[in-house]
Structure 1
Amino acid sequence: MAKLDETKMKTIKYWDAGAPAYRWNQLVPELTAQKFEVALRMPSAWMNMAIYDATVLAWREKAKYQRKRPHQVDPSLKPAINAPQTFSYPCEHTVTAAAAAHVLAYFFPAKADSILQLGRAAAQSRIDAGVQFPSDVEAGWKLGEEVAKQVIEKAKQDGSATVWKGEMNKDPKKWTGKYPVGINLVSYVPLVLKSASQFRPPAPPDFAADMKEMKEFKQTFKSAATAYFWANSGDLWTDLAGKKMFEYRLQDDAPAAARIYCVLSTGYHDAAIAIMDAKYAYWGVRPNQYDSTYKPLISTPPFPGYPSGHAAAASTSCGILSYFFPADAEHFRKLAKDCADSRFYAGIHFRSDNEVGLAMGRELGRYVVETLMQKQGSVSLKSWKGK
């Protein structure tokens, strides 16, 4: 601490913001932005499962050893930041950093060295700040690394290596394209769902009435803005979860924060699988294919339309966040509805796609929360489908 300088203080304050998992959840979208094939495997789910399991194990060790913080042992030592009101050994920020860094290094091997260096920087910042002993950090790193190794072994069995050998749809009344993007997700192993088809909706309707409504829709500035916003919204729901943790001051409760991130990202992982299962079960046609004279506001995604992935994923996330932040449930529902409507405004989804997607997501989100929380908040290796 006697060697603290401005550079070290910037690092300390950066990693001290929010819960230990906060910065790592900000990093994942940056990594996946240019790696679509990796993004489909949803590394955030695997990372957050590792963080949560490692954090739970760290808390058991804290309760076992009850080691005091450095400034409690030596009152003359003044931490550079507010010290957590928890036992010191092992370090919660380090166990998170090690778990996250090793999982992300597996998914992004070309950037493994820099990711692991970030993890080490996060860990060292706690020593530099005077809130952890070096041995707290050492133990936390070993624990996080061991959990990550087990998670990585499970991730290797996620089904992503399966090669699709099916046939493209040739029915002109259904979706057609050069290649069925995302169809491999149907072979992925769900983390909570019993199967990819567990929440598959019924077959889509005839889209004649939907098409008529879409062609008669009068675009406004607000509707166009909504369409563009949700088309480029990024990982809004994870960001929103982080914001709510700040608002409710949960950043100091590392296990609670890690659990929220874990359930949310796990739910999104399984929602993506279920969505693609439904899309390729029906090969639902897109508006600009149903009527070639129709021109959408934005580019149409290269996969079937029914049900809307944006609507289903938003509704799933809404249900999960509503469980953890019930006072904000109405706000979450409005966001999910806006997200669904935006795809109609954009001209790339029929209203039926969106309504079915919202309903599907509500059921899926409820199931994920009920299944995981019935285990008294434990999202452990033993509970995973891929064992």
Structure 2
Amino acid sequence: MTKHISIIVTLFLLAACSKEISQRSLPDFEPASLDQNGSNWKPILLAAPTEILIEEPLAVNSAVYQQELTEIQDLQRSISSTDKKSIEKWKNSGIIRWNEIARELVAIYNIPPEANPDGTYPAPNAQNPGVYPKFPFANPPYASRAYAYLQVALYDAMVTTWHYKFKYNRMAPAVNSPAVEALEPIQETLPSYPSEDAVVADVAYRLLKVMFPNDTVMLDQERAEQKRAKLVSGLASPSDIRAGEAIAAQIAATTLARYRTDGMGQAGGNPTVWKELEAAAIGRGITMPWKSLEFPARPGMLPLFGNVKQFLITTAQRDSLRPPPPPALNSEEFKTALAEVKKMSEVKSGEVWRIAQLWSDGAATYTPPGHWNEIACEAIAAAKFSELRTARTLALMNMAIFDAGVSCWDAKTFYWYPRPSQVDPSIKTIGLPNFPSYTSGHSTFSAAASTVLGYIFPDKAAQYEAMALEAAESRIYGGIHYRFDSEAGLRCGEAIGSFAIKKGQTDGSN
């Protein structure tokens, strides 16, 4: 057993009626640094922040801006209890809050569709998202992609925002006017034009409404609340907010153009493709190809996800990272690995069982990628990062997680290897993922995330590595993976995490 690092992690379950996901609250914090050099950081999708254009702000002594200050004073004189609650809700990182919202949505939609009476399975339809099964099925691949695009867009948006903040250097209303009160902690030397909160709110709304179209009304309410909270609190003027909205619209358009053309639409394949993939694996020496153990048999989860365009690596690099073939089913190595799974899966108490449950992250949770997002957000809050540095951290980690998932699915499809409970039906699992075994998704996701977090928080690197090892071990304990599945996944995830580190080392933030 790997050394256990004690952490408190809540298992997130879908509430049957309210559909509210329990999340740990983070402590209040004010950023320890403004990251004034942020305008020099390299964006990811943009060549430079100057690709995004906004108007020059009005002078502080202009009649129009003075009228904006008067409007804020009027709002503060008649502030409602609802506004006070909103200010409290949004006074910390808006990026972390939107990350939580994304995780909540993933958990709600991470439910496999039920079978039709004829034994077939319906598929969610993005063109008709409200019909059962509602779009999307937010499984781990879908979730990893959603988190990655959201956080990459927010990072490019923050670099652009910082560029214009320090170009124009117009401070917040509460700084510019003694008649406007700061109703929440304020960084007095951080310019408010454009409003970073307006940028975050509108970027997140524009992306998440595409990813989760049934929840557009809720998402719109969240973005409106965030922007109003900053207006009423004296941290942003109407023109600060409008400038943020202009940045967000352009960033979202650029991000969604890539999102819609990255190949995800073809990731499900079709019956002909599925048969071809199985036949190809047999041709590579897999004597017992993977099959669905659900009844009725369910098509494998997104078998062509491994072909989706990655952020950090090329297709050639993906192929070079593909692990060597797994052991032959008649080999002693395989028999030893299968026996270990059998033995560990029979332990239903103590530390083994606790670890198996802790990292299960199955249906109705926000998936292994979401689990690591929660871990990252806790570390960000403890480190008191600025919104810019928060965005960078989550973008680097989620690009690594997403690319790791794509590479893992490439290996799964390439080898089409049977799960332990298919070879030995007496093995009882803690859930049963509906896709091939080799390599382990949990292990690959976790190694990628822990590698990036160890780079960003070097004093916790050993802790994150131990957590990834524990997540990998948990899949053996749960009867879901062989040890060689997990070990291969860890190696691949760590390699992809190193690509994210190289990107971070050259982005100008250090």
String of CA shifts for 1:66-85, please: whole Å, max 9, x gaps.
Answer: 11221222223321101124
Distance in 2, matches of 1:54 and 1:11, equals: 23
The correspondence for 1:335, drawn from 467, 478, 502, is 467
Question: How far does residue 297 in structure 1 lie from its aligned partner after superposition?
Answer: 3.5
String of CA shifts for 1:17-74, please: whole Å, max 9, x gaps.
Answer: 2x23110000112212215545534212111111111111111111111112212222
Larger radius of gyration: 2
Look up the SS of the partner of 2:445 in the other structure.
helix
Question: How far does residue 372 in structure 1 lie from its aligned partner after superposition?
Answer: 4.7
Distance in 2, matches of 1:129 and 1:27, equals: 22
**Partner of 2:78 in structure 1?**
3
Aligned length: 374
Distance in 2, matches of 1:212 and 1:69, equals: 64
Distance in 1, matches of 2:95 and 2:173, equals: 23
- After TM superposition, the score normalised by the length of structure 1 is 0.91
- After TM superposition, the score normalised by the length of structure 2 is 0.70
The correspondence for 1:149, drawn from 245, 253, 260, is 253
Distance in 1, matches of 2:215 and 2:341, equals: 45
Distance in 1, matches of 2:211 and 2:80, equals: 34
Does 2:215 correspond to 1:140?
no
Question: Percent identity at matched positions?
Answer: 26
The correspondence for 2:342, drawn from 196, 203, 215, is 215
**Partner of 1:174 in structure 2?**
289
Contact 1:38 1:107 (8 Å CA) reproduced: no
Contact 1:102 1:116 (8 Å CA) reproduced: no
Distance in 2, matches of 1:363 and 1:167, equals: 29
Does 2:173 correspond to 1:70?
yes
Distance in 2, matches of 1:372 and 1:197, equals: 23
Written as runs of structure 1 = structure 2, the 5 A alignment for 1:210-289 is 210-217=337-344, 219=347, 220-232=349-361, 234=366, 235-250=370-385, 253-289=386-422
Does 2:162 correspond to 1:55?
no
**Partner of 1:22 in structure 2?**
96
String of CA shifts for 1:291-346, please: whole Å, max 9, x gaps.
Answer: 22x22231221111111110111010000101110000011011111101110110
**Partner of 1:129 in structure 2?**
233
Contact 1:198 1:274 (8 Å CA) reproduced: no
Look up the SS of the partner of 2:474 in the other structure.
helix
Does 2:120 correspond to 1:46?
no
Does 2:307 correspond to 1:187?
yes
Which residue identity does 1:247 align to in structure 2?
A
Distance in 1, matches of 2:220 and 2:399, equals: 23
**Partner of 1:160 in structure 2?**
264
CA RMSD, aligned part only? Answer: 1.9
Which residue identity does 1:7 align to in structure 2?
T
Question: How far does residue 270 in structure 1 lie from its aligned partner after superposition?
Answer: 1.0
Distance in 1, matches of 2:486 and 2:176, equals: 58
Distance in 2, matches of 1:128 and 1:201, equals: 55
**Partner of 1:90 in structure 2?**
194
Question: Which of the pair is proportionally richer in helix?
Answer: 1
Question: How far does residue 144 in structure 1 lie from its aligned partner after superposition?
Answer: 0.9
More deviation, 159-168/64-73: 159-168
Gaps of 5+ in 2: 1-75, 110-134, 329-333
Which residue identity does 1:254 align to in structure 2?
E
Q: 1:307 to 1:36 in 2, by over 3 A?
A: farther
Written as runs of structure 1 = structure 2, the 5 A alignment for 1:98-109 is 98-109=202-213
Gaps of 5+ in 1: 379-387
Question: How far does residue 208 in structure 1 lie from its aligned partner after superposition?
Answer: 1.3
Contact 2:476 2:483 (8 Å CA) reproduced: yes
Runs of 4+ in 1 over 6 A off after TM superposition: none
String of CA shifts for 1:154-197, please: whole Å, max 9, x gaps.
Answer: 11101012252423326552312242212120221111111243
Distance in 1, matches of 2:339 and 2:176, equals: 73
Contact 1:193 1:368 (8 Å CA) reproduced: no
Look up the SS of the partner of 1:9 in the other structure.
helix
Distance in 2, matches of 1:212 and 1:75, equals: 73
Question: How far does residue 377 in structure 1 lie from its aligned partner after superposition?
Answer: 5.3
Distance in 2, matches of 1:104 and 1:140, equals: 18
Which residue identity does 2:390 align to in structure 1?
A
**Partner of 1:385 in structure 2?**
none
**Partner of 1:202 in structure 2?**
324
